[in-house]
Structure 1
Amino acid sequence: MPEKPGITSSELGTLWLTYQQKTMVLRMLEYFIEKADDEKAKNIMVNMYDEVDPYVEEISVIFQNEGVAIPVGFTSEDVNKGVPKLYDNGFDIMFFRLIKEISMAMHTLNITMASREDIILLYKDLTSITQKYYNACTQYLIEKGMHARPPYVSMPKKVEFITDTSYLRGGLNPLSKKRTINTVEVANMFHAIETNITGFQMITGFAQCANTQEVKKYFTKGAEISKSIIKELNEVFLEDGIQTPVVSGGNTTRSTVPPFSDKLMMYCTSLFSSFAMGGNSIGTAFSLRNDLTTKTSLFMKDIFEYAHEGAKIMIRNGWMEEQPPMEDREKLI
């Protein structure tokens, strides 16, 4: 049998990112498992932990075999399981459902950048695990009445074609009439509202318990951005008489004791910000009403600037682990 080829720069980069994300997820699972009062939710999280943990070790072995320094990622120093609950029941599964959405996107992209078979299979396995627990979290939330379903619509009885460019008009001209949003636009906006509600709950808790004023202020700003996005998209729905999503449960408690390090909370917020930019890009690409594309473009601008500000805070505090660099040929020469 021929020897395995060495990993490529792309494979190194995606494995490195996966290691960071998975070690963060494991630390957060450790806390939420400790605080779980609902047995079914606890079982979902325990099983998730048991299935994800071996892949962190598998990535470590690949790095060792390739002579790669094992990243620090997130360790027991980044979690404190002995503190009071920061969130009410239900938030844990809401949070991990969103984490599984992010993971599905990451693994699908990563598999397209891998060529070595063992790495392709690793991402294939992780994708399968992610889909399994995304479904488990979704069904749990439905069962508990904590999942807001998108609105129903009358089914189309015939095929129609767009015959007038007025279909593209939005509210940029106050004298022009806007058409009702279509189901594709509803899907993207509903998803954006839903994810921002979970993100708002998460970051509000982070703001309550962050150790430094700089980080508290940053999280508070993030909560305001999420509120603004939810408000603007809800207004679009209400204009067309469409039901807006309402999520019950999962609220932040009164605790101000941090269960996670500022480093971990900042990384988690950065991950959510990256996911939000990707989601808004898709929303922009598939919306045909020009006022909606303008809104989502402005959301992306705000989120990008927010993420950039967060990166600066992480660098100043020594929390941002450097991604594996390419050789600086000019410096070597």
Structure 2
Amino acid sequence: MSKEDLKLTSAEIGTLWGEYVNGTAVDIINKYMLSIIEDEKIKTLFEEAIHIFSNQKKQISMFIENEGFPVPIGFTESDLNKGAKRLFSDTFCLHYLHIMTLHGLLGHTGSLSSSVRKDLRDFYDGCDDSGKKMYHQTTELLLEKGHFQRDPYFYPEYNPEFISGQQFIDGYFGDHRPLTATEIISLSLNMKKKIMEKSLSIGFSQVTESKEVRKFLKSTEKASDKQIQSFGKILHKDNLPVPMSWESEVTTSQDPPFSDKLMLYHIGFLLQTAQAFHGTGLATAMRTDLVVNYEQSILKSLTVTKEWFNIMTKNRWLEQPPLAPDRKKIAKDK
């Protein structure tokens, strides 16, 4: 069967829609960061990232239009205030590109796993290749500049060992065993993402024009900090290093580079993806204190996300994804 005979499924349309909206949001932020970056090597990476998405955006639009669906509005140049003062340092911009590249890689993989038509699978393969290349480039540049935060080192055991009893999962009562390598993976990544979320909340709260949005961003800053402290305490108890914060990489500017809509949407995107990462951490956690921390973080994120949703819909800032046909309504209107 040719691709012309295969209509895109609801999952394929949904992933394309999400890739477009999320991609345009990050693209606007990348364009602002490009305008303030002074380091030529970092600037080159942002130029490449913007060029890559420009081509992807055209392809996504074509897929959606060919199926007869309207292309989402997403985010445009109207959400960017050109000439705004510097809000972030070059170092923060590089960290931002690195973390968002990780998000993109995971997003492309999820989209690929939901795709059947070959042209769409080929498209996501290309997105994945570009994302992996950017991941290598941002990692190498962070290492070169001494800004890459490595995860804790382990000293090797002489022989493989097996779990021998209930004490392996104890985390609150009595002596708990050290963290496993698999648990540290999620702890470290979740902390780095929360550190970026907190820094963005601080920066955005300085420049937003809406009191309601500023109040919400202050609450996300506190929630992020609480989770950072909670996870950091677990690492500290095991004498493991805690990732550095990036608050000092946010300037004191009060000049808004972005629309309130874009800033609030971006924080909401990070909140929603954090729930998925917390869920992954919960699935790999085998110590009770870790399990409780992840459960509390997920519940808190759900509460904050609900508040985010209310503000977005109140201001008509949240674009609606394609809906399944309402058969009852269709039958009633006949």
The TM-score by the shorter chain falls in which range?
A: over 0.9
Deviations 1:125-167 (A, max 9, x none): 1111111112211221121122211111101210100111111
1:169 is paired with a residue whose SS is coil
State whether structure 2 residue 64 is matched by structure 1 residue 92: no
Quote the residue 1:203 is aligned against.
201
**Higher mean Cα deviation, 35-44 or 119-128?**
119-128
* CA drift at 1:106: 1.1
* CA drift at 1:81: 2.4
Check whether the contact 2:199–2:246 (CA below 8 A) recurs between aligned residues.
Answer: no
Deviations 1:100-128 (A, max 9, x none): 11111111111111111111111111111
State whether structure 2 residue 233 is matched by structure 1 residue 232: no
Q: Which runs of 5+ in 2 are unaligned?
A: none
Deviations 1:293-325 (A, max 9, x none): 111110011011111110110000010000100
Q: Give, as a single letter, the amino acid of the residue that structure 1 aligns with 2:127.
A: L
Give matches, 1:2-81, under 5 Å.
2=2, 3-81=4-82
Q: What is the TM-score of this pair, normalised by structure 2?
A: 0.96
* CA drift at 1:246: 2.0
Give matches, 1:115-134, under 5 Å.
115-134=116-135
Quote the residue 1:306 is aligned against.
304
Partner of residue 181 from structure 2, selected from 177, 183, 188: 183
* CA drift at 1:183: 1.5
* CA drift at 1:249: 8.0
Query: Aligned partners of 2:104, 2:311: CA distance in 1, in Å?
Result: 25
Query: Aligned partners of 1:112, 1:82: CA distance in 2, in Å?
Result: 40
2:90 is paired with a residue whose SS is coil
Deviations 1:231-286 (A, max 9, x none): 11111111121122225686110101110111111111111111111111111100
Query: For residues 14 and 53 of structure 1, do their structure 2 counterparts lie closer, same or farther at Cα, with a shift above 3 Å needed?
Result: same
Query: Aligned partners of 1:4, 1:34: CA distance in 2, in Å?
Result: 45
Over the matched positions of the two proteins, sequence identity in percent amounts to 28
Q: Give, as a single letter, the amino acid of the residue that structure 2 aligns with 1:19.
A: Y
